[in-house]
Amino acid sequence: MHKQWVFSFDEVDKVKEYVGGSWEKVRGLLGGKGANLAEMTRIGIPVPPGFTVTTEACNEYLESGGAFPNGMWEAELQALKKVEQDTGKIFGDPENPLLVSCRSGAKFSMPGMMDTVLNIGLNENTIQGMIKLTNDERFVYDSYRRLIQMFGSVVMGIEDDDFEEVITKARQKAGVETDAELKAEDWKEVVRKFKSIYRHKTGHDFPDNPFNQLKLATEAVFKSW
């Protein structure tokens, strides 16, 4: 049978057909979180649109020594197009950007599983669109630094303490007790310092291309297994 590497959340019936109807096999293919999101979508619970890359794709990646299975990335991009249609937003679009999160979810929870990476799709262009849409510069720069921090620690293996130290110093400099009291200008400075840490620790700049962000996050999930 031709393997399907990616299923949208609203394709649970298709998944059941693919695996032969058993719920355990659905969980085996989509992982616990992916299966539950698909089932919640099926019964009408309001779940944001999304998709799951299958455990078969992960196994194939690991068996091949670190290459995406043939056609998997294209299938992921196709599923992303569907999310764009469902949300009316465009991934990487500077005017009306779609942001996505990426996380792992095996059939059973286990130690060492990758944390969630939020706000994938933010870059120097899309943050300007987000500022116009939200009219909240502070919120957007806080969201951007979260992406760089999570991506740096989860995907690239940078010590989270390196980032947290910057935030602690930003609070001290601003004379405030909590992150919530930091203003837009404070978060802009944090973003600049986070990018500097990322460059220093990885040897290259933080990926500005949203599709590269998504690709590297997908790969990080596979490697975390």
Render the burial of 144-162: b for 16+ CB within 10 Å, e for the rest: bbbbbbbbbbbbeebeeeb
Residue 68 confidence (pLDDT): 98
User: pLDDT over 70 for what percent of the chain?
Assistant: 96
How confident is the model at residue 109, as a pLDDT?
62
DSSP 3-state of 118: strand
Tell me, yes or no, if the pTM score tops 0.85: yes
Q: Which of 46-55, 81-90, 102-111, 206-215 is predicted least confidently? A: 102-111
Bridge partners (DSSP) listed for residue 6: 53
- The answer, yes or no, to whether residue 61 has pLDDT greater than 60, is yes
pLDDT of residue 18: 96
Q: In angstroms, rounded to a whole number, what is the distance separating the alpha carbons of residues 123 and 126?
A: 5
Q: Which residues contact 16 (CB under 8 A, 6 or more apart)?
A: 22, 23, 26
| C-alpha–C-alpha distance, residues 126 and 210, integer Å | 9
Q: What is the pLDDT of residue 108?
A: 65
Indicate whether 106 pLDDT > 90.
Answer: no
Span 1-55, pLDDT tens digits = 689 999 999 999 999 999 998 999 999 999 999 999 999 999 999 999 999 999 9
* Whether residue 112 has pLDDT greater than 70: no
Chain segment 76-96, per-residue pLDDT in tens: 999 999 999 999 999 999 999
Q: Is 207's pLDDT higher than 70?
A: yes
Taking alpha carbons only, the member of 165, 166, 170, 163 closest to residue 149 is 163
Apex 106 CA angle, 105 and 110, nearest 5: 100
Q: Which two tokens stand for residue 62?
A: 């690991």
pLDDT recorded at residue 28: 94
Q: Which residue has the tokens 């405030």?
A: 176
**For residues 35 and 19, is the Cβ–Cβ distance under 8 A?**
no
Q: Whose CA is closest to 42, among 53, 19, 26, 56?
A: 26
Q: What pLDDT does 225 receive?
A: 77
Identify the pLDDT of residue 48.
96
pLDDT in tens, 162-179: 999 999 999 999 999 999
